[in-house]
Amino acid sequence: MNDKQTVFRTEWFTVERETFDDVESLKGKPYYRINSSDSVAILATTEKEEIILVRQFRPALNQYTLEFPAGAIDESESPEAAAARELYEETGFVCKELNRLGKGRIMMSRYSSHAYAFYGTGAVKHAGFQEERDCEVVLVTRSEFKALVLSEQFEQFPSFALLVLADWKFGSRLLG
C-alpha cells in the first residue's frame, strides 16, 4: 500500500510525499511531488502580427524574465476563460480569435498539474488599460523574437511547444 501525505502547503502549491512500495526503482524511498492549479500560456499576436510578451519579476529566479502571458486557472474556471483573463490582466490585449492548441504537462518528474496552450490572433489593446506594477508589455516582430530565443534572453523553455503547435495547427508562420 502507498503512503501519501501533504508535507508543505502555500496559497500557490502543496508538496506531497508518497512512497511506492510496488515500484522497484524507488526502493521504498519517499517521492515528493508539487501539486498546483492547472495553468495557461498564451502565444498571442497583434493585428500587426507582433508577438505579445511580458517582462515580469520572478521571485524564484530573483530576476525579471521575458515570457508569454501565462497564469493559473482559477477554481471552476475553464482553460479558455483563464487564457482570455490572463492575457487581459497581464497585457490589456483582447484577441479577435483565441484557439486552444493543446494540453500537456510541464516537468512531469515533479509537477502533477496540466498546462494548456493557446494561440490568439488579431489582438487589440483596450484603451485606458493600466499595466501591472511589475509587468511590462513587450511587442516584438518574428525576427526579434527569434533573436531573443537564440540569444537565450527568452527562457520560458516549455513555451516553445506553443510555437510548434501554432505552426502545425494554424500555419502561423512564426517558425519561418
Q: What is the pLDDT of residue 81?
A: 98
- Whether 80 and 16 map to the same domain: the answer is no
User: 3-state secondary structure string, the chain?
Assistant: CCEEEEEEECCCEEEEEEECCCCHHHCCCEEEEEEECCEEEEEEEECCCCEEEEEEEECCCCEEEEECCEEECCCCCCHHHHHHHHHHHHHCEECCEEEEEEEEECCCCCECCEEEEEEEEEEEECCCCCCCCCEEEEEECHHHHHHHHHCCCCCCHHHHHHHHHHHHHHCCCCCC
Name the pLDDT band for 160 (thresholds 50, 70, 90): confident
- Whether 27 and 41 map to the same domain: the answer is no
- Whether 28 and 45 map to the same domain: the answer is no
> What does residue 159 show for φ and ψ, rounded to 5 degrees?
-75, -10
- Whether 30 and 51 map to the same domain: the answer is no
- Whether 26 and 43 map to the same domain: the answer is no
- Whether 27 and 96 map to the same domain: the answer is no
- Whether 12 and 42 map to the same domain: the answer is no
- Whether 42 and 29 map to the same domain: the answer is no
Q: What is the pLDDT of residue 35?
A: 95
- Tens digits of residue pLDDT in 51-72: 999 999 999 999 999 999 999 9
Report d(CA 146, CA 149) in Å as an integer: 5
Name the pLDDT band for 26 (thresholds 50, 70, 90): confident
- Whether 22 and 48 map to the same domain: the answer is no
**Is 136 part of a structural domain of the chain?**
yes
**Is 71 part of a structural domain of the chain?**
yes
- Whether 108 and 28 map to the same domain: the answer is no
**Is 176 part of a structural domain of the chain?**
no
Q: What is the pLDDT of residue 1?
A: 60
- Whether 75 and 109 map to the same domain: the answer is yes
**Is 175 part of a structural domain of the chain?**
no
pTM score, two decimals? 0.90
How many structural domains compose the chain?
2
- Whether 153 and 165 map to the same domain: the answer is yes
Report d(CA 86, CA 127) in Å as an integer: 17
**CATH at residue 137:** 3.90.79.10
Domain that holds residue 94: 37-170
Residue count of the chain, please give it. 176
**Is 74 part of a structural domain of the chain?**
yes
- Tens digits of residue pLDDT in 102-113: 999 988 899 999
